[in-house]
Amino acid sequence: MKRIPCARITCEVYQEISRTVLSALGSIGIRRPYIQSGRSIMLGERRGGLFSSGTTLLEDPIDIYSFTVPAERELAVMHRLIQAAMLDQEGRGSIYSEQAERISRDDECPGDEPPHIAAEPPHYPMIQHLVGISCIVQRGQSDIIVRSSLEMGICVPSVTFGIGAGLRDKLGLIRITIPAEKEVVNLVTTQHDAQGVLARLIEAGKFDQPGRGFIFTYPIARGLLNTRLYVGRHLSAASLGQIVAALDELKGTTAWRRKFTGTSDHARSKKREYMRGLVDLTLLCQEGRAFELSKVAMGAGASGATLSRLRRPVPDDTPPGKVVSPAREKLTMILPAALADPVAAALFGAGICDEGTAGEIFLRPCPEAHTYTGKK
């Protein structure tokens, strides 16, 4: 097994723009990105109600594209997408990239062919050094996290659905009494705010209590984020989002946006012990295989997994009459770094490279994680 470094690009756009992104990707040779349906949430102004004032959550369907490119093409691809989908304007979507590793065994599973795009000089000012925060909670429990992240002005959160696998599946039929449906909230914040945000979210989502879920961070190299967090009356010539974007561009950095200053944050939050040195191992495979493979991974030491559904466009040159399923599944596991290789080896051993599985494994670091770990 070897690890091949690559850039993993994620692009979240409103469904109305999805087609534009897909054709832009197709035009540079990325014909088969993974697409996950999700929802994106903004704060809306609530008016007119007798008892209701303040804000409401506005939810819109989004498509989350993800694909890998060789590191040297990363910027060019991102700029092409920003240009095509006009992501530099607020209220369209976000794009960001991570340094990930693809685990491959003797090149059995050929990866995607590199995009045919020349290295272009960067056009758009992107924010460097971001941190992704992912929260896995029970289905229906995401609103509190979404709301607090919007009210803190962190970012426009995106929510996807998943199914938890783990201890539950070993219980026999009584497992049906434990809901497996999860919601995954994805947030992106700047590195200088990450610690403060993490602490606040753990508080808001009560992740230090049993049964509340799991929260972890992962580094993001760079990105351009949707700044439209709030919809309401505009009483000024430019929206706040536009002003923020303009300042980012002028300053060339987002450090001025820092919200959580070290001292006050330190005073506020309790001293927390984070789990450190973990990795996020993600397996992408054909629909219908992930559940079985999650058992294989758990046999190799993984403690649990989150399973979600994705799709992958079918290439246009598919011979007619042949059904090529676009349905894919994603298995996300947070593991101690030392377990990454044994789990990956077990997965390869279970035949993830055969035609019916077409699996791919990616690895990304996961510097901090938190969940209830028993009474101290």
Partner 1 sequence: MLGSSRIVRENQRVTGNKTPRQPKDRVEISFQQAIGLIIPYIKSRIMEQIRSVWLILLYLILFQTLVLQIPIVDGAIIAFGMTMVIIGLAFFMEGLLLGLMPLGELIGLKLPQKAGLAVILIFSLLLGFGVTLAEPAIGALKILGGTVKAWDAPLLFTLLNTYPDYLVWAVGAGVGLAVVSGMLRFLYNWSLKPFLYVLVPILTAISIWAAFDPNLLYLTGLAWDCGAVTTGPVTVPLVLALGIGITRVVGRGESGASGFGVVTLASLFPILAVLLLGVSFSGTVPQPMPGPEFMSPAQRVTALGLFGGREDDLLRYAFAQGGGDEVRAYFGEDANRRAFVADMARDGSARTRLFGDDEPRFMRWVAVHGSDAEKMTLFGSIKSAREYTLRPPPPPRTSIASLFLRNFQTAAQAIIPLTLFMLFVFFVVLRERLPHTDEIIFGIVIALLGMGFFNIGMETGLSKLGDQVGGKVPSSFTALPLEEQRATINGFSPDIVGSAVDAEKGGVARFFFHRHDRVVDPIPYDDKNYDEMTGTYTYVPQVGPLFGGIWGVLVALLFAFVMGYGATLAEPALNALGIKVEELTVGTFKKTFLMQAVAVGVGVGIAFGVAKIIWDIPLVWLLAPPYAILLVVTYLSSEEYVNIAWDSAGVTTGPVTVPLVLAMGLGIGTRIGVVEGFGILAMASVYPILSVLLTGLYAAYMRKRSGAGQEEESLPVGDDGEAAA
Q: Name residues contacting partner 1, limited to 301-360 (CB under 8 A).
A: 301-304, 309, 311-314, 323, 325-327, 334-336, 338-339
In this structure, what token pair is assigned to residue 337?
């770094």
Query: Which of the stretches 15-23, 48-56, 66-74, 259-267 binds partner 1 when contact is defined by CB under 8 A?
Result: 15-23
Which of 6, 7, 9, 13 is the binder for partner 1 (CB under 8 A)?
A: 13
Q: Footprint of partner 1 on residues 192-211 (CB under 8 A)?
A: none
State the minimum distance, in angstroms, from the CB of residue 106 to partner 1. 27
Confirm if 363 and 103 have CB atoms less than 8 A apart. yes
**Using rule CB under 8 A, residue 262 touches partner 1:** no
**Using rule CB under 8 A, residue 235 touches partner 1:** no
The torsion region of residue 211 among left (phi > 0), alpha (psi -120 to 50) and beta comes to left
Element (H, E) at 4: strand 2-14
Site map 141..180 versus partner 1, x via CB under 8 A: ------------------xxx----xx--xxxxxxxxx--
Which of 91, 114, 153, 365 is the binder for partner 1 (CB under 8 A)?
A: 91
Which of 6, 11, 18, 133 is the binder for partner 1 (CB under 8 A)?
A: 18
Cα dihedral 153, 155, 160, 165 sign = negative
Please name which of 130, 147, 305 lies closest in space to residue 214, comparing C-alpha atoms: 305
Which of residues 106 and 273 has its CB atom nearest to partner 1 in the complex? Answer: 273
For 60, 169, 305, the CA distances from 43, given in Å and listed in that order, are: 11, 37, 31
E strand intervals along 140-267: 158-165, 181-190, 214-224, 230-231
Which of residues 60 and 259 has its CB atom nearest to partner 1 in the complex? Answer: 60
CA distance 271 to 95: 33
**Using rule CB under 8 A, residue 299 touches partner 1:** yes
Which of residues 4 and 372 has its CB atom nearest to partner 1 in the complex? Answer: 372
Number of residues that bind partner 1 (CB under 8 A): 80
State the minimum distance, in angstroms, from the CB of residue 271 to partner 1. 13
State the minimum distance, in angstroms, from the CB of residue 266 to partner 1. 16
**Using rule CB under 8 A, residue 231 touches partner 1:** yes
Which amino acid, 222? R
Confirm if 278 and 337 have CB atoms less than 8 A apart. yes
Which of residues 159 and 285 has its CB atom nearest to partner 1 in the complex? Answer: 159
**Using rule CB under 8 A, residue 31 touches partner 1:** no
Largest CA distance in the chain: 66
Q: Footprint of partner 1 on residues 93-132 (CB under 8 A)?
A: 93, 120-121, 123-124
State the minimum distance, in angstroms, from the CB of residue 267 to partner 1. 21
DSSP character for 177? G
Which of 70, 88, 243, 257 is the binder for partner 1 (CB under 8 A)?
A: 88
**Using rule CB under 8 A, residue 72 touches partner 1:** no
Confirm if 185 and 137 have CB atoms less than 8 A apart. yes
**Using rule CB under 8 A, residue 42 touches partner 1:** yes
Which of 8, 68, 76, 92 is the binder for partner 1 (CB under 8 A)?
A: 92
CA distance 195 to 185: 17
**Using rule CB under 8 A, residue 17 touches partner 1:** yes
**Using rule CB under 8 A, residue 191 touches partner 1:** no
Token look-up 């509340």 returns 212
Which of residues 161 and 218 has its CB atom nearest to partner 1 in the complex? Answer: 161
State the minimum distance, in angstroms, from the CB of residue 107 to partner 1. 26
Which of residues 91 and 114 has its CB atom nearest to partner 1 in the complex? Answer: 91
For 7, 231, 350, the CA distances from 41, given in Å and listed in that order, are: 27, 11, 39
CA distance 164 to 304: 7
By DSSP bridging, strand 55-69 and strand 181-190 are: unpaired
Q: Taking the mean position of all CA atoms in its chain, how far away is CA 338? A: 23
Please name which of 373, 362, 344 lies closest in space to residue 214, comparing C-alpha atoms: 373
